[in-house]
Chains A and B, each alone.
Chain A
Amino acid sequence: MKKSKQPRGKAAPSQAVPSRTSGIQPVIIATKNLTKIYGKKSAEFKALNGINLEIRRGESVAIIGKSGSGKSTLMHCLALLDAPTKGEIFIGSHLATKLKKRRVNRLRNKNFGFVFQQFFMNARDSVLSNVELPLKIAGIRHRERKRRAMEALRIVELEEKAKSRANDLSGGQKQRVCIARAIVNNPSVIFADEPTGNLDSVTGARVEDLLFQMNKEKGITLIIVTHDEDLAARCSRQIHIKDGKILSETASTVKGGSK
């Protein structure tokens, strides 16, 4: 792990892997020399250039960088949505880069939850059926699906909107539905790509609170791609990416705390 600089001086220097609770948690995602190259020889572009990373269970990690820095590519690789050109990704004890597609799909379905800046909801479907989607993909029966989706909607306090059309919700409500969708399968990791990017500060704060609440109460690891400094600061750890490399790492003292 790289030595951290302290670009904003908010975080305390720390060599140890930060953890939510006392006692060291197991590594949940790790990468070794992760490299992603786009284009052919002459027009080669290294989006990721030898990333070594370890993320432990229950951490909240912010991946920060300017656009084109490679932060999104890093998240896609960690979420097994994209295959690296070189290097290895470990999910728990599995070497994910060697797993069969089927296993990878199952892994993503069972262990990961996704929250995107643009929400990505099926606009014409009901809120409930949007939240049910990961369970539907998992092949869970209708009754159980509904029960768990309602439970997830209760957590994000949108139970009464279950029957509404997704399109009829406000932006903040949509993102809360997306969080419900991300937690409905009880994942161990939530990947959030600019989760507050399309929201005003008040609704954005509510969404952030929800994400950290999940981190705290359910022990779900958060991996948040953002260029919002305040959101990054609320995470227990900040990884700064530039030109496909880890520029620096910092750890917050106020882990997952409120602003």
Chain B
Amino acid sequence: MKLWDIIKSANSNLLRNKGRTFLTILAIFIGSFTIILTSGIRTGVNDYIDVQLNSVGGEGYIEIMPKAMTEIMSSQMSLGSSSGPQEYNPDKNSLEMTAISDSDLKKLRNIDGIESVKPSQQISAEYIVSSKNKTKFVVTPQALPSDRINLDIATGRLIDINGDRPEINILPGYAEALGFGSDEGAVGQTVRIGVVETATMKTREVEATVAGVMNKSIINMGRSWVNVALEGKILDVMYTNLPDSYRDRVYFATAEWDTSLGDEGLKRIKDDMEKLGYVGMTFEDQVGMFKTFLDAIILVFTIFGGVALLAASIGIINTLFMAVQERTREIGLSKAMGLGRGKIFLMFSVEAIALGFWGSALGIGMAYLARAIVNPIASDTFLKDLPGFNLLQFDLKWLAGLVLLVMMIAFLAGTLPARRAAKKDPIEALRYE
């Protein structure tokens, strides 16, 4: 018997009992559909993050934080450390532990592969306002630590980091709100930023030029980027009437490293920082934390899908056992006419594989349908502020792999009934009523 004939007759045998076949396929479909959708969301999110990383993230840029800082953060997150109370270290007080000293900055600069280290201060502002209208808007300025960070600029240009003029890249929406009419109208205009003096709680304004308007993205996290000149002016206001030592305290730093060293080099740089008591994090690391979290959720749903597939494969076993029982005489006749055991095994295996194929194919079809419906709705509602974020994305190779996997599972499930069919004695089978 030719393989093509076996495949054809397997499919027509499945059609003999449409209800039963449909229910079995439905069970496989539920499992595959769950897995395809969760993976589709994962691909969608990751694709978006990757695009964002390429447009916003920066190569060769690393953020440095004292290890004690991350430890405090993580112990707060885990509701207190499980290792019990920590002993007080008289050599370093808590402020020293969480700050970066001058000597440490020097040591960090001396790490092989590090090109430059820039201490960063936390700056804050109250509002942003223009002369076009009097309404003040909340703003979160942050000094752009490195020009290796690519900002996704929609209009205008990136701020000149080390330029003399104080400059700012504003978020979309601000241009209109500030009364510039359009993004183009805002470029080159002057805005004023209100900053509070820490010592006196008085608010003073500093002036800045809008260099350009950014596109919205998750990685920006609502920050407006400023250059060194503007950062200095904001700090001047913030630390008015405070001792210099206060202003010079550095809690984190950013560094640029030689990207030609590759991932290995980056790992060594991070290890060197670790030895000095610092944690280095790249953009990818920060996003990686989010990805890990996402992957954990995806894993749970994939396990649900897997359990559904397992249940479905028991359905396959059941369906095929019934088919073997019903077709006992047919099996006996075929055997009498010289059909070998292997071919009979193959006939029922192909039926199981066909069930797996149609179930997962239906899953893919429905997943594409879901994508056509869900993506536009998502983009119009909760993803409205994130242009270019397609919630569901499918990878064809991955889908093909899933179909193969489901067919494999179906085949394994089918081996039990197929074996029973293959082992039937033709005379016994023909006598079967």
Contacts and interface: CB of A to CB of B under 8 A. Distances in A.
Interface of A: 76, 79, 81-82, 101-102, 105-110, 112, 114, 116, 120, 122, 124, 133-134, 136-139, 141
B16 A139 contact: no
Interface majority SS (helix, strand, loop, mixed), chain B: helix
B333 interface: yes
A141 B152 CA distance: 63
A122 B427 CA distance: 17
Interface string B27-63: 0000000000000000000000000000000000000
B333 A106 contact: no
A105 B430 contact: no
27 contacts: A79-B336, A101-B340, A101-B341, A102-B340, A105-B340, A106-B338, A107-B338, A108-B338, A109-B337, A109-B339, A112-B338, A114-B337, A116-B430, A120-B430, A122-B330, A133-B333, A133-B334, A134-B337, A136-B1, A136-B5, A136-B9, A137-B337, A137-B339, A137-B343, A139-B1, A139-B5, A141-B2
A138 B339 CA distance: 8
Nearest to B5: A136
A108 B336 contact: yes
A81 B339 CA distance: 12
B337 A133 contact: yes
Nearest to B327: A122
B194 interface: no
B427 A114 contact: no
B426 interface: yes
B337 to A, nearest CB: 5
Contacts of B333: 114, 120, 133
Question: What are the 7 A-B residue pairs with the smallest beta carbon separation, nearest first?
Answer: A109-B338, A108-B338, A105-B338, A137-B339, A120-B333, A134-B337, A105-B340
A81 B338 contact: no
A194 B406 CA distance: 47
Contacts of B332: 120
Interface of B: 1-2, 5, 9, 16, 329-330, 332-334, 336-341, 343, 426-427, 430
A137 B334 contact: yes
Contacts of B5: 136, 139
Contact of A105 (B2, B329, B339): B339
Given A108-B336, A136-B1, 4 more contacts: A105-B339, A107-B338, A109-B337, A133-B334
Given A79-B336, A101-B340, A134-B337, A120 B2 contact: no
Contacts, number: 53
In the complex, which of the residues B1, B332, B341 has the most CB atoms of chain A within 10 Å of its own CB atom? B1
A82 B5 CA distance: 28
Contacts of B426: 81
A102 B340 CA distance: 7
Q: Which of A133, A137, A138 has the most CB of B within 10 A?
A: A137
Contact of A134 (B16, B338, B340): B338
A122 B332 CA distance: 12
Contacts of A139: 1-2, 5
Nearest to A72: B427
Contact of A120 (B329, B339, B343): B329
A55 B332 CA distance: 26
A76 B340 contact: no
Contact of B16 (A107, A124, A137): A124
Contacts of A108: 336-338
A141 B8 CA distance: 13
Contacts of A124: 16
A194 to B, nearest CB: 13
A101 B423 CA distance: 13
Contacts of B337: 108-109, 114, 133-134, 137
Contacts of A76: 427
B231 to A, nearest CB: 80
A76 B426 CA distance: 10
B13 to A, nearest CB: 10
B427 A82 contact: yes
Nearest to A113: B337
B384 to A, nearest CB: 56
A136 B341 CA distance: 15
